[in-house]
Amino acid sequence: MAGLRPFRPSGFRLETQQVGGKIVVHNYGHGGGGVTLSWGTAELAVQEIQPAGNKQYAVLGCGAVGLATARLLQQHGAQVTIYAKDLPPRTTSNIAGALFRPGTGFDPDRVAPAFFDRFDRAIHLSHRHFEAMIGERYGIRRLDNYFLGDQPLVDAEILVDARISDRIRDLYPQAAELAPDQHPFPARFASRHQNLLIEPPIYLNAMLDDFRRAGGTVTVRAFESMDAVLALPEPVIMNCTGLGAKTLFNDDELTPVKGQLTVLAPQPEVDYVAYQHDLYMIPRRDGILLGGTFERDNWTLEPDPSEKRRILEGHSKIFSQFRS
């Protein structure tokens, strides 16, 4: 299966605008870190708009970012309607691997210095929310993560940019390098840390159920233009449309990054995550996810057979050489 990440080189957009008599709060463009950052950027967006004192909100989008935004607004006493073209299980968030990691959400050479402070706040706020939700209902658990390579990885394993490393190291306190006799992997070096895994099929359904139980309304609707969005009755619009913002709000910077996964049958005995170079294995209750790909400006959702073959062959090589 394949999905399109909403990628902005300068990082996620978190901004308030006055448009056509409406207040529009943009919260999108998280790239490969949408689930990870969802609660954090939602909280920052809600903090930004709360002083206005409005009680009726429209949330555009029903993926991880839209649902977190909607639930936080409800917790502040607001009446919220979600408008979305697709609902779980047909959202982009449903396809996410959804490990709690910074991911591929920006181009380090394109972001402004202030972005790193906002990123820092967002990821710590988000981690706090997910930690409070660990359990069967939301499909969130801690797993050991193993990173394999030809050089020590303990500093590089979590991170996408050195300017973030010291800011988030506290979220991964047990990272450690393993000696060759401490792991079975066919790699010169292996490192391990514990991380949160959010299982989207479980998590998104539970979030949508919470939203409805709290009195929220869901309207399935596709918007063809910004004018159609501005015609909504709610005075405040939270734009969590992901890649849809490219057309609706004329964001030329927003671009798709295609990610492809190969899914194997569930194996309950597999209780860890493994990475080697551009390959990763994530165990979920609905299957073993094998990835991955990162193809900028690729709009097709058709799986690439050659990438599937590369991913399967790469993982086969890793796991066929396990040491006993």
Q: Where are the domains of the chain?
A: 2-320
Lowest-pLDDT range of 23-32, 149-158, 193-202: 149-158
SS (H, E, C) the chain: CEEEEEECCCCCEEEEEEECCEEEEEEECEHHHHHHHHHHHHHHHHHHHHHHCCCEEEEECCCHHHHHHHHHHHHCCCEEEEEECCCCCCCHHHHCCCECCCCCCCCCCCCCHHHHHHHHHHHHHHHHHHHHCCECCCCEEEEEEEEEECCCCCCCCCCCCHHHHHHHHHHCCCCEEECHHHCCCCCCEEEEEEEEEECHHHHHHHHHHHHHHCCCEEEECCCCCHHHHHCCCCCEEEECCHHHHHHHCCCCCCEEEEEECEEECCCCCCCEEEEECCEEEEEECCEEEEECCCEECCCCCCCCHHHHHHHHHHHHHHHHCCCC
pLDDT value at 63 more than 90: yes
* pLDDT at residue number 153: 63
On whether the CB atoms of residues 24 and 113 are closer than 8 A, the answer is no
Is pTM beyond 0.75 here? yes
* pLDDT at residue number 262: 93
Residues 6+ apart with CB under 8 A from 158: 101, 102, 165, 168, 169, 172, 175, 193
* pLDDT at residue number 243: 94
Compare 174 and 54 and report the one with higher pLDDT: 54
Q: What is the mean pLDDT of residues 304-320?
A: 93
Lowest-pLDDT range of 102-116, 153-167, 267-281: 153-167
Compare 236 and 108 and report the one with higher pLDDT: 236
* pLDDT at residue number 53: 76
Predicted confidence band at 211 (pLDDT cuts at 50, 70, 90)?
very high
Q: What is the mean pLDDT of residues 209-228?
A: 96
Compare 134 and 172 and report the one with higher pLDDT: 134
Superfamily of domain 2-320: D-Amino Acid Oxidase, subunit A, domain 2 (3.30.9.10)
Average pLDDT taken over every residue of the chain: 91
pLDDT value at 154 more than 70: no
* pLDDT at residue number 157: 46
Give me the percent of the chain exceeding a pLDDT of 70: 95
pLDDT value at 203 more than 90: yes
* pLDDT at residue number 80: 97
* pLDDT at residue number 161: 62
